[in-house]
Every structure is written in C-alpha cells, then in structure tokens.
Homo-oligomer: A and B are copies of this chain.
Amino acid sequence: MLKNVDAVKKANVYFDGKVNSRTLQQADGSKVTLGFMLAGDYTFNTNEKELMTVLQGAMTVLLPGETEWQTFTEEEEFIVPKNSAFQVKVTEYADYSCSYIAE
C-alpha cells in the first residue's frame, strides 16, 4: 500500500494503451507510477533514474549497455539509468511500479 498519496486520475497511455500507468505523488514530492503492460515489445526512454519493480507477471528486459536479456518476475526489481533507453518484452502481462530517483 502506498499511503497518503495524490493520484492523477487520467492514465498515462503508451503504445495504444497496451501500456498504461497511473501517476502517484507522494508527500515528500517524489513520484511513483503504477503501470500495466500487455503482451508486446516496447522501448522506453528515461529522463530520470528509475527503479522498476515487477508486482505481478513478468517482463524480459534489455538494459542499456547490456547484451543479455533478463527476466524479472514478481517482487524483482531493476534500475535504469537516466537519459537512457531500455527494451522490454512481455509475453502475458506485467504489473509494475516505477519510482523516479533524483540524482
């Protein structure tokens, strides 16, 4: 449970809605998104450093500078550097949270 947050009502919609997320603003000013990806291949760009946590399902990820794809399942997490891009393959669905880390 994320306590005491302000939730933006409208979803963030990517890839025709196959990826959608909700933005939550925490009391300390930090932002978390809770997102959902359906099956597909996606590339995401980062502006900030991101901590991605899989909540349900699984995603297979190619992190920037890596040559090996890694699969992350429930409760597993990974970090993506700011101003980079990462690729994601989802075969069923992936429920995730994304925290933005100021540097």
Chain A positions within 8 Å of B, measured between CB atoms, are 1-11, 13, 16-18, 20, 22, 24, 34, 36, 38, 55-57, 92-93, 95, 97
Q: Are A1 and B11 in contact (CB under 8 A)?
A: no
| Residue of A22, A24, A57, A93 contacting most chain B CB atoms (<10 Å) | A22
**Copies of this chain, how many?**
2
Q: Are B56 and A38 in contact (CB under 8 A)?
A: no
CA distance A11 to B33 in the complex (A): 12
Q: Are B11 and A95 in contact (CB under 8 A)?
A: yes
Which of chain B's residues has its CB closest to A4's CB? B4
Q: Are A34 and B56 in contact (CB under 8 A)?
A: no
Q: Which residues from chain B contact A13 at a C-beta distance below 8 Å?
A: 56, 93, 95
